[in-house]
Amino acid sequence: MSDSPEFLFFRWFTNAVNVLRLLPRGDGGIAAFMITLPLVERAAIGRLKLRGEESGKDNANVKTEIGVMLGLTDEYQRSVFWDMFRNGFMHLGMPLDGKTKWLFSGEFGHLPVFRDIKGTHCICLDPWKFADHILSFYHAEPKLIAASESAPFGDIFYLES
């Protein structure tokens, strides 16, 4: 018998983020951000699916949903955030460098905010609050965990020798 996707989600994602909280000086914040960042797209696709909407071949609905989830309703800001963080962290382990810089701090909120700080255009957020915000979508609506058919949720099983 296998564990439910909800139980596995808690084991693999929620527990991992909680263990990272134990690191000194908030050092686990970047890893918590990286763990939850791909869950944004998964939740967006799941939310569309559960509402009976298509994600579309050009992903326009997914991009719009991500913008709503992250408070980035401006297409330019959503695009800059997603390219910098999703493409940077998921492919290179750090945000892509460009005209816009990034600041992580406990002084910021759970959503990315674009600010000009001392003449530098920055995306500001608290990675811990961000991680908690993204995990909260799944804790509030566990059906999101398994809603994506293109990336079915994993399972644990034992092979008999």
Q: Write down the pLDDT at residue 150.
A: 80
> Is 73 within a domain?
yes
Q: What does the chain come to in residues?
A: 161
Which DSSP symbol is given to 25? G
Q: Which domain holds residue 66?
A: 5-93+128-147
Backbone φ and ψ of 101, nearest 5°: -105, 180
85 part of a folded domain: yes
Q: Is residue 154 part of a domain?
A: no
Q: Is residue 113 part of a domain?
A: no
Residues 6+ apart with CB under 8 A from 66: 40, 41, 44, 72, 78, 82
In a domain, 60, yes or no: yes
This prediction has a pTM of 0.91
pLDDT the model gives residue 60: 86
The number of folded domains in the chain is: 1
The pLDDT of residue 152 is 78
Q: What is the pLDDT of residue 154?
A: 79
C-alpha span between 124 and 133 (Å, rounded): 15
Mean pLDDT by 10 residues, the chain (161 residues): 83 96 95 96 93 77 93 92 91 92 96 95 97 97 88 76 73
Does 13 reside within a domain? yes
In a domain, 134, yes or no: yes
Sequence-separated (6 or more) residues with CB below 8 Å from residue 137? 39, 43, 47, 69, 144
**Residue 20 belongs to a domain:** yes
pLDDT at 56: 64
At 132 the pLDDT is: 97
Q: What angle do CA 125, 67, 121 make, to 5 degrees?
A: 45
CB 141 within 8 A of CB 49: no
pLDDT for residue 54? 76
